[in-house]
Structure 1
């Protein structure tokens, strides 16, 4: 990997202030019709954190990711990115740090090659030459373990490969504009639908991306036990749009919190009730 994509881990870490919040959600609420999926939620993420957001389906986890990404406006509350209040959506004003998102479905353009998918924003919104973009795409594809596939189409790839291509698209950045380099990555169910071996590959990749580039932080929404334990340092349990538990990964098996105990045991009896 060359220096043009990322700073070295040591240099990036030196520039990070782990005591100042990277992302702050204050009193965030969001409803869809009469369904209030996020309810006056407060959440703080610091530089270098690896955070899993877990909980039953339909409790607002993916909604929170989209609000953080600037793709969805909250109904109430304030959002601060690196201390700067965000007003509007991501297209209204640039955040002080880059935020990348990997969707549950790889969301690749079927009619475009892997190179065109990964380099899409660079082709559309930079003055880089085709040769420069090709070089950047090749570098990030190698980083995610997919060298030499730039000319393939999504239909030619397995589900796990498509996931990794979507990772490459999230982390590629314009070296002429360092602020484009994502400081935060948001993952929405990155191992959903994958077999255990493919899941392990994705989990290891997430950790590699995180640990190899200094202060890079991420939030990951997942239901999968192995993904929670292999990718997260801190866990936030969400139920009915509110945080019911917040603790380290090592505390999962020690806590008496009834929501956490029921979730990991799969018991139908408890505070989490199946919605019919």
Structure 2
């Protein structure tokens, strides 16, 4: 029996001015998988995430959510799937405490009492290993801690309205700018959230860091020149003879991927 994708991109195109970013992209995302999109910088990886999230319009093509075609941006219609995006720079509100940041969705979109929201926030902070820091501000946290706070915010759920609970997480370069040890903490947390009740079992990640690719990917999509050039399992990255994949993982300046000075 063929599985129906949670999210499907069919022939998606996107340009900014004269620059073609996505050129007839076909991509299916299934429940329970860890999909990682890789490729050189500036090849449209983050654009794919924003198109999936419904944050930017596509020029042509179609996006389906649980088999239903999305006709506009996320604010234009009610998707049957809640998608949470974890931004590269955490994107926390500097003027709000950690508790207010993590509970922001519930404060804005639920009728839950404040005490209940604070209790739920503390549960999510515990999931990401940050129990007891709700009264701090983002400026008081390390880069890795801010990333984890943004994860807690992304998985925030509403017990009174299960349809608000996230079913897909989108990670945009979650380990960018972190040292190797902090990166390992984040990589382990990504997998932990996938396997833990109260987390989210499906995610799509954009990254170019090899350790993150190897530790978080079940399926890999290689994006370059606006097109998906290769896809396979993480185990295949060491056995494929695809020249772009070989060049990317060997960090060679020689090969089909153009070097930008």
TM-score (norm 1): 0.92
2:127 counterpart (123, 140, 143): 143
| Maintained 8 Å contact 1:18/1:46 | no
Q: Does 1:209 align with 2:187?
A: no
Equivalence for 1:190:
174
Q: Deviations over 1:28-77 (max 9, x none)?
A: 00000001100010000111110110000110000000000011111101
State the secondary structure of the residue aligned to 1:204: helix
State the secondary structure of the residue aligned to 1:269: coil
Mapped partners of 2:259, 2:164: distance in 1: 42
Equivalence for 1:104:
88
Q: Does 1:245 align with 2:224?
A: no
1:92 counterpart (76, 80, 85): 76
Mapped partners of 1:130, 1:18: distance in 2: 44
Q: Does 1:42 align with 2:32?
A: no
- Deviation, 1:228, is 0.2
Mapped partners of 2:244, 2:56: distance in 1: 27
Number of residues paired by the alignment? 260
Mapped partners of 2:167, 2:106: distance in 1: 18
Structure 1 segments, 4+ long, off by >3 Å, are none
Mapped partners of 2:170, 2:34: distance in 1: 10
Equivalence for 1:225:
210
State the secondary structure of the residue aligned to 1:161: helix
**For 1:30-179, what aligned pairs fall within 5 Å after superposition?**
30-179=14-163
Structure 1: segments with no counterpart, 5+ residues: 1-16
- Deviation, 1:121, is 1.5
Equivalence for 1:260:
245
- Deviation, 1:274, is 1.6
Q: Deviations over 1:64-112 (max 9, x none)?
A: 0000001111110100011111111111112111111100001001110
| Maintained 8 Å contact 1:173/1:181 | yes
Equivalence for 1:235:
220
Mapped partners of 2:116, 2:213: distance in 1: 37
Mapped partners of 2:2, 2:99: distance in 1: 35
Mapped partners of 1:63, 1:101: distance in 2: 12
- Deviation, 1:275, is 2.5
State the secondary structure of the residue aligned to 2:213: helix
| Maintained 8 Å contact 2:138/2:146 | yes
Equivalence for 1:11:
none
- Deviation, 1:115, is 0.5
| Maintained 8 Å contact 2:53/2:84 | yes
State the secondary structure of the residue aligned to 1:21: coil
Q: Does 1:20 align with 2:4?
A: yes
Structure 2: segments with no counterpart, 5+ residues: none
Change (3 A) 1:82 1:50: same
Mapped partners of 1:65, 1:219: distance in 2: 8
Mapped partners of 2:4, 2:245: distance in 1: 28
Q: Deviations over 1:123-150 (max 9, x none)?
A: 1111111001101100000000000000
Mapped partners of 1:77, 1:103: distance in 2: 25
